[in-house]
Amino acid sequence: MTEKVRVRFAPSPTGPLHVGGVRTALYNYLFAKHHGGDFIIRIEDTDQTRLVPGAEEYILRSLEWCGIHADYGPHIGGPDAPYRQSERKPIYKAYAEELVAKGHAYYAFDTPEQIEEMREKAKAAGNKSPQYNAITRQYMLNSLTLPAEEVQKRLESNEPYVIRMLVPRKEEIRFEDKIRGWVSVHSSQLDDKVLLKSDGMPTYHLANVVDDHLMKITHVIRGEEWLPSTPLHVLLYRGFGWEMPVFAHLPLLLSPDDSGKLSKRDGDRYGFPVFPLEWVDPITGNKSSGYKESGYLPEAFINFLAFLGWNPGTHQEVFSMQELIQHFSLERVGKSGVKFDKKKSIWYNQYYIRKKSPEELLPYVVQDLEKKGWPIPAAPYLKRVIELLSDRVEYLTDFTNLAPYFFLRPNTYEPELIEKSWKTQNIAFLIDFSRQLQGIQEWNSKNLEMLGKQLASEKGLSAGKIMPTIRLAVTGVTFGPGVFDILELLGKEETLWRIDQALQKIPVPTEKL
RNA sequence: GGUCCGUUCGUCUAGCCCGGUCCAGGACAUCUCCCUUUCACGGAGGAAACAGGGGUUCAAAUCCCCUACGGACUACCA
């Protein structure tokens, strides 16, 4: 095969894109770029009734955030435009008719009620999965059973009809899946799927085959849920006399509680977002969290996602997008369903955050502060905050969540910490400490520590005793970087103010000796 | 129910195609210890898996068969 690799990601704008979809897009992208090929986005909006406003735009925005950039798509255009199936409507009808002409498809005039009736009858007769197929089509209203003039008349009088695939009665259909090997299904298991709906729109089956052919797609990389309908697609390619693309069906992303494949409807119920970006349902107004807003770095999210079903075969775990492109291959994609591991996603995030410089992290923190409506300190101060915290955060939002005291004065003091460290001796120390602080020569962490320790030993107190007390007074919480580093950053004036506040606000214990 | 696909530590997985080097390797999580004023980071170490049963073979996680379990699909949805 010397032709250029071309793949497509074909989401349906029926809602937000979820992680499984992002992974499918990612693998398509990695595969295309690895081979120097094109990655196309095609919107499969043939079901007009399920369209969700904003979904397409959301999908496009999500992929951008992830760093998955399309070569062609509805927002970019390209040689095979339009890339929205609803805008390609006339194309499909012609192809469906071509198939009828070739004897691979037929018109069917049955009403939904008539089909339902057929199913009921079949069920009553003991058939567990009644189908519109080689057997039942003989008894239905279609161009196979009706006289030609009758068919003609019905078509001319604009009677609603669909075009169905004429699936051969007895035939073993085989195809090779790049991930699963040879798969074979007997045609008797397939039903005569509708190709063109009565509203003139194609179904997925027709549209995807026609478009993949027209867009010269070389590899169809999609979720495993499509595996059962692939034989039908094979039949379609054959019926048209077209060359088939290579198929690769990806293992599904499973929910952590073994309840099957992860779905959009899972929203936030597993404690991790299932969407890349926050999504607000246009109808219910329900908000679902997104990775971005939760404080994930896109590169961490992508690295994590890439490993859900693929691995390089080496011990390397950290890959940039460029490295992923370099190393990705379908051969190394697993076959079995993959469960989501929130802890690992956090590990990746933490890792990537720590690798970033304070300068790089700065905009994220500023954005977060803006969102929270907190005061935004000057850049040097912020960078120092980031430095002090970056070993301790899991999410980008932790810079503010875990250490609000760098931005706001504490207004509460952790009760447990009070109980442990707010002793009369310690308070006495704090008062003296604060007094000595006023006269300190150079306000830096080292000097502060020296002073604190010296004063402590003068009073017969250990460093371990007094530091939590200072921490309590200044931050109100137990968590954080070294106290003296905090003091240094806060500055003399603020430190003194906070100690004073603490002395006023935290009640003196009634100590029993 | 039927069809198809799958099954290695709790999780993601390496190894399977080309049987021996695997009393199964890595990562996350977990446990212990060290470092340490807190929380982390870091370092050292530990526990932890070939779904089950039959074959084939001198030898099977690796090849074959069966069973069990899980999943997907089964629409004029994608």
CATH classification of the domain holding A385 = 1.10.8
**Cβ(A190)–Cβ(A164) below 8 Å:** no
Give alpha helix (H) positions in A328-423: 342-355, 358-372, 379-389, 398-401, 415-421
**Cβ(A365)–Cβ(A396) below 8 Å:** yes
Residues 352-371, chain A, CB closer than 7 Å to nucleic strand B: 354
A303 with A331, same domain: the answer is: yes
- d(Cα A216, Cα A244) in Å, to the nearest integer? 10
A2 with A61, same domain: the answer is: yes
Give nearest nucleotide to A470 (CA–C1'): B37
- d(Cα A407, Cα A405) in Å, to the nearest integer? 5
Residue by residue, DSSP assigns A293-335 as: TTT--HHHHHHHHHTSSB--SSS-----HHHHHHH--GGGB-S
In a domain, A33, yes or no: yes
**Cβ(A167)–Cβ(A194) below 8 Å:** no
pLDDT score at A269: 84
β A6-9/A38-41 pair status: parallel
pLDDT score at A2: 64
In a domain, A46, yes or no: yes
At residue A315, what is the residue type?
Answer: H
Domain boundary among A338, A369, A404: A404
- d(Cα A134, Cα A415) in Å, to the nearest integer? 75
Q: What is the CATH number of the domain that holds A103?
A: 3.90.800.10
- What is the token pair recorded at A443? 């306000």
Domain count, chain A: 4
- Is there contact between A392 and strand B, defined as CB under 7 Å from any strand atom? yes
User: Do the interacting molecules here have an ipTM over 0.85?
Assistant: yes
Give strand pairing partners of A339: A254
A434 with A375, same domain: the answer is: no
DSSP at A290: B
DSSP at A273: -
pLDDT score at A376: 96
In a domain, A413, yes or no: yes
At residue A74, what is the residue type?
Answer: P
- d(Cα A244, Cα A39) in Å, to the nearest integer? 18
Q: What is the CATH number of the domain that holds A17?
A: 3.40.50.620
List the Cα angle A448/A454/A460 in 5-degree steps: 135
Give strand pairing partners of A222: A249
Distance measured from the CA of protein residue A398 to the C1' of nucleotide B46, in angstroms: 32
A40 with A28, same domain: the answer is: yes
Distance measured from the CA of protein residue A332 to the C1' of nucleotide B15, in angstroms: 13
A69 with A149, same domain: the answer is: no
In a domain, A429, yes or no: yes
Q: What is the CATH number of the domain that holds A491?
A: 1.10.10.350
Give nearest nucleotide to A119 (CA–C1'): B75
Question: CA of A265: how far to CAs of A44, A51, A345, in Å?
Answer: 20, 16, 21
Q: CA nearest A216: which of A34, A2, A68? A: A2
Distance measured from the CA of protein residue A458 to the C1' of nucleotide B23, in angstroms: 61
A134 with A42, same domain: the answer is: no
pLDDT, averaged in runs of 10, over chain A (513 residues): 88 95 98 98 96 96 98 97 96 97 97 92 83 93 95 95 96 94 92 96 98 98 96 97 97 86 84 94 92 97 97 95 97 94 95 96 97 96 96 96 95 88 90 92 91 90 89 93 96 95 85 53
Residues 150-169, chain A, CB closer than 7 Å to nucleic strand B: 160, 162
CB atoms within 10 A of CB A425: 14
A459 with A511, same domain: the answer is: yes
In a domain, A479, yes or no: yes
In a domain, A137, yes or no: yes
In a domain, A214, yes or no: no
Residue by residue, DSSP assigns A189-218 as: GS---EEE-TTSPBPHHHHHHHHHHHTT--
Residue with tokens 């931050």: A475
List the Cα angle A403/A400/A61 in 5-degree steps: 160
A427 with A503, same domain: the answer is: yes
- Is there contact between A335 and strand B, defined as CB under 7 Å from any strand atom? yes
Question: CA of A186: how far to CAs of A171, A172, A173, A183, A441, in Å?
Answer: 6, 4, 6, 10, 87
For A220, the 3-state DSSP assignment is strand
For A376, the 3-state DSSP assignment is coil
Host domain of residue A461: 409-513
Distance measured from the CA of protein residue A194 to the C1' of nucleotide B75, in angstroms: 9
pLDDT score at A461: 86
Residues 189-248, chain A, CB closer than 7 Å to nucleic strand B: 189, 191, 193-194, 197-199, 201, 203-204, 224-229
pLDDT score at A192: 97
Give nearest nucleotide to A262 (CA–C1'): B71
A105 with A191, same domain: the answer is: yes
DSSP at A140: S
Residue with tokens 């679902």: A288
In a domain, A212, yes or no: no
Residues 55-94, chain A, CB closer than 7 Å to nucleic strand B: none
Give alpha helix (H) positions in A40-147: 55-66, 89-101, 112-124
Enumerate long-range contacts of A476-483, CB under 8 Å, 24 or more apart: A476/A405, A476/A410, A476/A411, A476/A412, A476/A413, A476/A414, A477/A405, A477/A410, A477/A414, A477/A417, A478/A414, A478/A416, A478/A417, A479/A392, A479/A402, A479/A403, A480/A392, A480/A402, A480/A403, A480/A405, A481/A388, A481/A389, A481/A392, A482/A445
List the Cα angle A160/A166/A171 in 5-degree steps: 160
Residue with tokens 């290579």: A246
A264 with A342, same domain: the answer is: yes
Which residues does A455 contact at the CB level (< 8 Å), separation at least 6?
A429, A432, A433, A436
Residues of A with catalytic roles: 264
A266 with A349, same domain: the answer is: yes
A392 with A464, same domain: the answer is: no
